[in-house]
A and B are shown apart, each in its own frame.
Chain A
Amino acid sequence: MWRLNKVRHKAAGRHGDSLEELKLKRREHERALRQARRDRQLVSKRLLLNEDEDQPEVTMDTNSGEQDVVSLFHKLQQTGSEREARLKALSKALRDPSAQLAFIKQENSMHLLVGFLTGSDATCRLQAVRCLHELSHSPHTNVAPACLPATPYLLTYLSGQSTKFTELCLYTLGNLCPESDVVKEKLLAQGIIPALANCIENQRHNLAVVEAVGFTLSQLLQAKDAAEKIIPMVLASSLPSHLLSVLTPDPDFGLAPAIECAWCLHYLTCSTEDNRVLLAHGALLKCSSLLVSLGAAVAEGNKEEGMELLICPLLRCVGNLLSSCPVEDLSTQVGDVHIVVALCALLQAYLQTQPALARESAWVLNNLTAYSSALCSALLTFNLVPGLIQLLPFSQGINTMILRALANIAHKKKEFCVQLAHLGLLSALCATLKMADQEMVTLSMDVLFMLVVSGPQVAEEFVRQSGLSLLEAIQYNSKGDIRRRATHLLEHHLLSYSVDTPCS
């Protein structure tokens, strides 16, 4: 299992790298990941370390590694009493990528491993699966497929009871999943989904195994064609309810299992627009109430390490589930109106450190306010609007989303418009109307319209804030639809406020 503090140690001082070198490596890695995502090739594997390991050490020189592997292989083919030790040595040697290649090039090497995997010696089984795990983690594309003969057994063992062994089987399968369509199809045919469902059901108490199931499932669900083949099978199984039940983090074990299950749910909700099955399982209710408690924790300053790894997929689930949720069911599905408090807390907390997370929170806020008067009203009642208005300077999608949410509020009732104007939205609009972002300008005009027509006091206030000259200037905007909006407002709604003075 992964403990986040373990990760921290890794990041600091691996192989004697200086801090700068580490930073550089991370940045390079990040760049590579971004490019992979843009190519729709974003895939990761996990390596489960041995108990005695703190960091993945690959210290040996590759040549000797290859030779070790070959000689170990030959020795293992002979019967003898040192098989466990040799298998253990083999698993260590297989950490090295070129040794991995050398191993699978040996004829019958996989057959040998499978033999140990299914043999009567439990320790040998463990070491064999360890070898397979190392192979599954290989960066070479032809290594993992070589492990296919082992998969039916790995799947069978998922219903076993040995924690470490099951974990290794799971992570090995999880690493194999994204390899190729051929591998995926084989695994699906061999029943990976029911196997995962059974495993999580039987091992529900064993959070390390639950985490591993979550990881493996997430690997399956990330496939490009998951929506057609995989997702329907998953939704039909008992997996959704188990995933939801794991979402509440265990205080002792940590966030990791919840993180994996949340990401599974995200892949399920974002791949399709019809989320009725998940809604029926109470997914929206569960995710939103979790966000309420997480938001409260964040607001109090209890930011547990890695919390955003859980918050992010939860936000996405809520956002996408909302877009499938019929309006009538909103109040039952969302439950607590304090969700808006939580979202605003997340927005403020992550604005500087993780603007992308703030942007996603703003998106969810838009979906919450789109068709719900109650939630719009809550934003006003809990006095969250001034804080939102203060976020309107921030670009890259944050201000447009927030302005949409505010527009949603204005759209509901004239009374809301009056309140919004009173809370400072009018003067904020006088600024946003001057922004370079055309979408902001257009949205601002539309919101301004709603405010101005809501009542004479708002129109008067707008005029008092030099709104007329602002609109007159906007009549010279290069974009026709913006000019028309300004003219329309001036001619139809602000006429009585214009003063015609003769010039000197």
Chain B
Amino acid sequence: MQQPESVRPLITERHHPTGDTHERRPRETEEGNPFTFSPQLIHLHKDHELFEDGDITRHMYLQDLYISEADDKPTLSVSEFACHISGCSAVFSTLEEYEHHYNSLHRHVCCSCRRSLPSARLLDIHIQEWHDSLFAILAQRQDMYQCLVEGCGQKFRTSKLRKDHLIRLHKYPPDFRFDKTKKDRGTRETKRQQQKDTAMEVADDVCESEGVCEVMCDVLSNQLEHGESMETHVSQEEARMAKSDSTEEHADLSAAAHGAGNTSTESTKPRYSYRVPTSVCFGHGSVRGFRGRRGRRK
């Protein structure tokens, strides 16, 4: 109903020349300052839609139809919230719903394979077991598969052993969604370049992004151009397309992930995400949770 006020044919915005009479914050002089706000006087013409309701009341009064207590309560509406992650168009009526959505589906997403994990720890384990070639090497000689239960601390030589442990000791169901092996994933996985044998996987219906991966890729690679993104080197397109990633590349990734040092060319940008490993992006919307999608953001 109401459109944004910013650009309208009927509003005339007057900019006052900057004067010295008021103490004015000096404009940032650094280049590329993207912030555009400046105070504006807004003149509204007679026919502006902001005046509609008041005009109607006036004319109801002229035609003797005015009553001071309105028949129906006029609708006072509250702003909706919307997930702004590129490609996700979920809309919510409360902040809590938004936060729940975001925390469930966007916070712990693996950039390499787009899987969404329910917690940071499970994400860390996933990345380690699926995308870290160093892990694969080490796993041949020592127990590397951590128990998924926080605080247990036990480690196992294979994922099968871990699974048995989870079922027997921790009474987990045999088909626990976050501990599937690679073989369980089905044919969709052939597209992906997984060469790890480890398995931590969210249920299959999660994460197929209906083309959003590409969107995210573009977003990220555009950002990469300007060196702004959190991925300091490998673009997602490369990651996706490379069938047999050189272990070198992955070593780079994991090296970066482990904070072992910057081996990439563009690594001059500091990393400022403390919570999430650098190789993780916030990803895209997943299918699960969108079944009952509320509505598209306009």
Contact = CB atoms under 8 A, between A and B. Distances in A.
A26 interface: yes
A251 interface: no
Contacts of A271: 45-46
Nearest to A12: B67
A500 B270 contact: yes
A319 to B, nearest CB: 7
A91 interface: no
Interface stretch (A82-90, A146-154, A162-170, A491-499): A491-499
Given A7-B66, A309-B57, A351 B76 contact: yes
A399 B258 contact: no
A474 B71 CA distance: 43
A37 B52 contact: yes
A247 interface: no
A412 interface: yes
A348 interface: no
Interface string B28-72: 101011111111111111110011111111111111111110111
Contacts of B14: 273, 323
A422 interface: no
B4 A400 contact: yes
A360 to B, nearest CB: 7
Interface string A288-331: 00000000000000000110110011001001101110011000
Nearest to B69: A353
Interface stretch (A113-121, A378-386, A439-447): A439-447
A484 B68 contact: no
B230 interface: yes
B6 interface: yes
Contacts of A472: 230, 272-273, 282
B39 A394 contact: no
Given A396-B2, A504-B124, A7 B34 contact: no
Nearest to B45: A270
A412 B24 contact: yes
A490 B272 contact: yes
A4 interface: yes
B258 to A, nearest CB: 6
B1 A42 contact: no
Contacts of A327: 16, 19, 21-22
A153 to B, nearest CB: 25
B4 A476 contact: no
Nearest to B32: A488
In the complex, the 5 A-B pairs of residues with the closest C-beta atoms, listed nearest first: A498-B272, A502-B259, A356-B53, A503-B277, A436-B82
22 contacts: A7-B64, A46-B62, A309-B61, A312-B57, A357-B53, A366-B42, A394-B76, A394-B78, A396-B2, A404-B39, A411-B25, A436-B82, A437-B80, A439-B4, A445-B35, A468-B273, A468-B274, A472-B282, A475-B229, A488-B34, A494-B272, A500-B271
